[in-house]
Amino acid sequence: MLIIQKKTRRDFMRVGADSLLSAAAFAALSAVAAPATQSGDAPMQTRRGERGRFKSVDEALAQGVSNGTAAGVVALAADSRGVIYEAAYGKRDLAGGASMTQETVFWLLSMTKAITATACMQLVEQGKLSLDQPMSQVLPQLEAPKVLEGFDASGTPKLRPAKRAITLRHLLTHTSGFTYSNWSDCIPQYEKATGMPDIAESRNGAFASPLEFDPGDRWQYGIGMDVVGKIIEAVSDESLEIYFREHIFEPLGMANTGFLISSAQKRRTATIYSRQADGWLKAMPFEMPQRPEFFSGGGGLFGTPRDYMVFLQMLLRDGTFNGAQILRPETVGAMRTNQIGDLDVNPLKSSAPAWSNDANLFPGMQQKWGLSFDINTRPGPNGRSAGSYSWAGLLNCYYWVDPVKKVTGAMFTQLLPFYDARVVDLYGAFERGLYDGLARV
């Protein structure tokens, strides 16, 4: 997993390159705002004649690089017959001048969650797990969960027993009570008071986190998918690295995705940038420890945009792609269906502004949650159908799958903080341009 070694999320945010991206470098971006294809890369076989329908997407992405929205961006889309759009603009590393390509390696972060959920649902299909099974039957450490009710005058945490057991459904739907520190006012204080490591450090001590509410009481984004990763390992008797490779990546041909990456892949990894208050981009150095205490099912994968588009096409085609059946159609149907009942997805309120802005993928719209996906209950403002499902990665990567119009799209950057307004606008322009192009006869 890509983390700053021996540092927390907040430490990561304090580390940066000594110099900001210069005005001269920004001016140079306009010269590289053109589709990039890495020498020797095999194309994804975009269908003949499709590219011209999406001129507005090309223009938006090129402008997004030239105006400094991102140092580089990759966007891809597919329908039920295959890839209909792919392009890369800008640089993966401004200092070194390396071009962004469709085979650039990205830290996927929370885009990992959909893959973890897929692995989990394979085990459900096999009868090795069930959605409403108490997970203490698999992980004894979940036997007696505690709910954090605040702190006393001395700063000591006040804990009480949870009212109900944690089920697999709770973990897959972010209704377990486990939360992330950067979306919580309480967990950072608990970490400080107890010395508990943050989940981003990939240390097993992070699983000692208390709950913020009783399982099933509400939706709040959290570390449940990391717990699911532990469950997959316990049931399969394999590490996530091996399980994902054998049961998902190799069958689909996703050769450039994994928790552990080669030196050659490391050389193709995109540089992470942080947007400063004045809009400039600042490079952020990072290390990639290859011996984490656990593989993060919530955010540890690296991969290329082309690999992730293969995974999305599998979902779009109800579980089967390139002759490999990863999931049954009815399983994919359940994953994209409301699994939280009368609860609603809540807007994300950031407690760490350097790490993330407040985020709401569909402001003013009731949103539901499937088995790892946000579901828009009404048509989206940029073209996607009601009932589409989507999510994102912390470094401003985004994807959606539209099961009605049979189209999927994804856009990749490596930029903090999350839900950057300029990148979100660019993502909207990509989606609008894609659907407008599809509507042309």
| Other C-beta atoms lying within 10 Å of the C-beta of residue 440 | 8
DSSP state of 250: H
Whether 80 is a known active-site residue: answer no
Q: Of 85, 89, 190, 221, which residue is the catalytic one? A: 221
DSSP 50-112: -GGGGHHHHHHHHHHHHTTS-SEEEEEEEETTEEEEEEEEEEEETTTTEEP-TT-BEE-GGGH
DSSP 400-436: EEETTTTEEEEEE--EESBS-HHHHHHHHHHHHHHHH
Contact 99, 28 (CB under 8 A): no
d(C-alpha 369, C-alpha 377), whole Å: 10
Q: Which amino acid is at 35?
A: P
d(C-alpha 66, C-alpha 235), whole Å: 49
d(C-alpha 196, C-alpha 208), whole Å: 7
| Other C-beta atoms lying within 10 Å of the C-beta of residue 328 | 15
Positive/negative CA dihedral, 319, 312, 383, 374: positive
Q: Of 66, 99, 110, 181, which residue is the catalytic one? A: 110
Question: Which pairing describes strands 272-275 and 415-416: parallel, antiparallel, or unpaired?
Answer: parallel
d(C-alpha 129, C-alpha 168), whole Å: 8
Contact 226, 199 (CB under 8 A): yes
Whether 113 is a known active-site residue: answer yes
Burial of 310 (0-12, 13-18, 19+ CB in 10 A): buried
| Backbone dihedral angles phi then psi of residue 365, each to the nearest 5 degrees | -115, 135
Torsion of CA 430, 431, 432, 438, to 10 degrees: 110
Structural tokens at position 326 = 């990863």
* CA distance to 44, 87, 106, 409, 427, per residue, from 83 (Å): 7, 11, 20, 10, 18
Work out the angle at residue 378's Cα, subtended by the Cα atoms of residues 110 and 416, and round it to the nearest 5 degrees: 30
Determine the 3-state secondary structure of 76 from DSSP. strand
Q: Of 113, 273, 274, 398, which residue is the catalytic one? A: 113
Residue the block writes with tokens 């698999």: 138
Whether 221 is a known active-site residue: answer yes
Which one, of 51, 48, 52, 70, lies nearest residue 61 by Cα? 70
Q: Which residues are catalytic?
A: 110, 113, 221
